[in-house]
Structure 1
Amino acid sequence: MSARFRSSFPLLVLALGAFVLGTSELAVAGLLPWISADLGVTTGTAGGLVTAYAAAVALLGPPLAAILRGVSRRHRLLAALGAQLVGNGITAVATDLPVLFAARALTGAGAALYAVTAISLATALVGPDRRGRAVSLVFGSITLATVVGVPAGTALGELLGWRVVYGTLTVATAVVLGCAPLAVRGSASPAPADAPADAPGRLADLPWSRLRVPFAVNAVVTAGHYAAATYLVALLTEETGIGPAAVTALLVTTGVASAAGTFLGGAAADRDTRRAVVGAAAGTAGGLAVLSAVMSLPALAWPAILVWHAAFSAFSTAAQVAVSERAPGADLPAATNISVFNTGIAAGSSLGGLLLPAAGFPVLTLTAAALPLAGLLLLAARSERAGAQGRGLGRIRPVGRAARPGRGR
């Protein structure tokens, strides 16, 4: 085994785990017709499986990070993969809806723990100067699941049944679980995988007051994105007026744009975190605002949608980097930020569901665009206060480490 492969193998395993996680989470939506028919329930009732997963991620991520803060990252990663293995396995064989709901919640809890642990391990493996790329590796692999894993899962479910899909995901999770002990050896990084994730004595020292604005900005921008993104297919078919084949093509290119935005956001955050956050939030607002004006013109709506999705993916990565820079090496703030992200998803989709029937697509997209702008105003207010106190324009100064020259945060 070459030295280059040995150094990249842990990152490949973490990325594969994130890909399987993303496919497991998102494949349910494409399989709902077969799940509802198999279990004898309505599609709307079966759709609650998506909610159960998202609620588990949002509600259980921070408590699990706090409870397991003294457990090594290696063991936390194995526990997270074990929960996903059991959850996907039960999903594949469950014959009644309550058991299926419990299985999805268990898988979501494992996903919440896996995401934050994988991010901190990847960051430790590449070092603080490449923190953005480490975060984008995990987030980007989840995004790639929407482009590759979910369509493949839907096609497999149509051919062989939805249970085969989750049986396959169970096997894939087992493969990642088998590789994980080799990938996360304690000597592999400057922050060993055998070290506790968050030492109990450190929790009181975490800069929670300085994390409030990043959390709030993440929630507001995410809500704006999902207020419109949740109803994108309806917008394309009812307002833009394109056919099924074009909708499929646009969704695929949107997934590619999102994946590209994730990796570009990570690279940009490594250069200047604050500018990456601001630029990506502005791009999200701009794409949505343009879409509201040109949604009846497919040739113009398509690039606006691509810009919007790429910018939001870049924002999500940069926002996670901003939190990890304010509290380096601490997993609980990262877990809280992931929970905030999922809260933004729920709030945004609910807001869109209220606005769409009452005001229509143009008002919905304009409102969605206004929320990222509100996030930028929060950042501007934070910068003004920081400047008044003589700390510069809202720069992030990591705990226990001086800010590097040339790095605006």
Structure 2
Amino acid sequence: MSMTTADLLPCAEPVRFLDEHGQLTDPGPEATARGYAMPSDEDLLAVWRQMVIGRRFDTQATALTKQGRLAVYPSSRGQDACQVAPVLELQEQDWFFPTYRDSMALVSRGLDPIEVLTLLRGSWHCGYDPVQTHTAPQCTPLATQAVHAAGAGHGLARRGTDGVALCFIGDGATSEGDFHEGLNFAAVFNAPTVFFVQNNKFAISVPLAKQTKAPSLAYKGIGYGIRSEQVDGNDPAAVLAVTRAAYAHARAGHGPVLIEAHTYRLEAHTNADDATRYRQADEVTQWSERDPIARLRTYLTGTGALTAEIEEQVAAEAEAYAARVRERMNEEPVVAPLSLFDHVYAQQTPQLREQAQLVAAELEEVQG
């Protein structure tokens, strides 16, 4: 499919179906022309349910750092719609490439929460099986997963599948070379990869204004010939609609898509960060009032899809989920120090063998 410059450009304003008060709003002629459709109440109810469970998990994980059960935890509270909606739309054959902040997305994909928290606990590189789950390890180095996702998308296409690769990335990571290399490779090889940028306004303490002069991060895709879009990342309906369209575009063989979701990180960068040093409390308050869970709750209550009974059931489900996480995280992990050297290479190098022998000798001395 040959695309013109107009086809590549994002909408002038972020796509939005629900306003900040949860009221249905006109997404505008540009969004309508691109075929973005308001999701059904049934689909939105599934997103709302998972956001409630995901946030309760996020809150519990934050508490676990204070109890010494996790070494560090990067919260994604406030980014709930971005964490849940794109992941729920993935199919079994699709691949997901998360960052270190995307634990909520991982549990929304159905991964074991304890395996998700293994990296942040510090007891293993990755707790889940990437091949079995079609989910790459959480990526701490900025933007390196963009190259991996481009290659995975290319591989899916070469195998003749209609699978897509979803790559989550932060706004700060768009300044890294790997981001641009990933976009360029995906475009040149027409890879079915969707790059989903969660623009939460801060790269740790660096504000967006010091990251880019572009009118929107979505415009960064145009130079590579990638169809691009921007969306209100706190509107779950819009996020679901835009990602659905992106997946359909990629599955049809039309190449990659870049999405910028405008959202906000309500908590500090991690539990080790003091966010009051670089942002004002009133800014956080303003974004708290744009809560994606509250916004969707208001809408679904208005349509009658969300009843008090359903809300009570989901709240109980979320509490039970958090309780199971607490109980399992209170168990001390069984670690094997020498496993540190496993899976670095298919065959250990002489240097790795030497290092493993040194660690083994130290362990024997300590234990003996």
- Which one has a larger percent helix, Structure 1 or Structure 2? 1
TM-score under structure 1 normalisation? 0.22
TM-score under structure 2 normalisation? 0.24
